[in-house]
Amino acid sequence: MSDEPETKGASDPPLPTELVFHNVKGNFFRVVHADGVVGSLTPQGNIQMGVYSERKPNPTEQTYRVRPDGMLGEEIVEKRVTKEHVVRELEVELIMTPAVAQATRDWLDQWLRRLREMTEE
């Protein structure tokens, strides 16, 4: 086995000048709102990034009045039970090679530059 790169022979078909990619959504595709990221390096030297969204906590318990006709009335807000502070919900975790992380950063930089140009006009 040789370490020399293979050379194209005269009978090899020419390389295409264009390559079309069809983008399809996987079965678990979803839109994720991101307020931030948290992460670290994996033991294999990849970048682990958890994408999170932040929100006020949903009530864990709500009490409503019952109207005389049996229909649900207004909430008795002072009986609402909810957690304090802010909920940070990890939505998805990405693990990427350094090369993919660099390409992602470059892609984000490109869009940030374009956004700055649009807002400066």
Give the DSSP letter of residue 51: E
Residue 63 in domain = yes
In which domain, by residue range, is 70 found? 36-120
Distance of alpha carbon 84 from alpha carbon 52, whole angstroms: 18
**pTM to 2 decimals?**
0.65
Written as one string, the DSSP assignment of 71-113 is -EEEE-GGG-B---S-EEEEEEEEEE-HHHHHHHHHHHHHHHH
pLDDT tens-digit profile of 38-75? 999 999 999 999 999 999 999 999 999 999 999 999 99
pLDDT tens-digit profile of 90-112? 999 999 999 999 999 999 999 99
Contact 60, 81 (CB under 8 A): yes
Residue for token pair 């390389």: 15
Residue 81 in domain = yes
Residue 11 in domain = no
Count of domains for the chain: 1
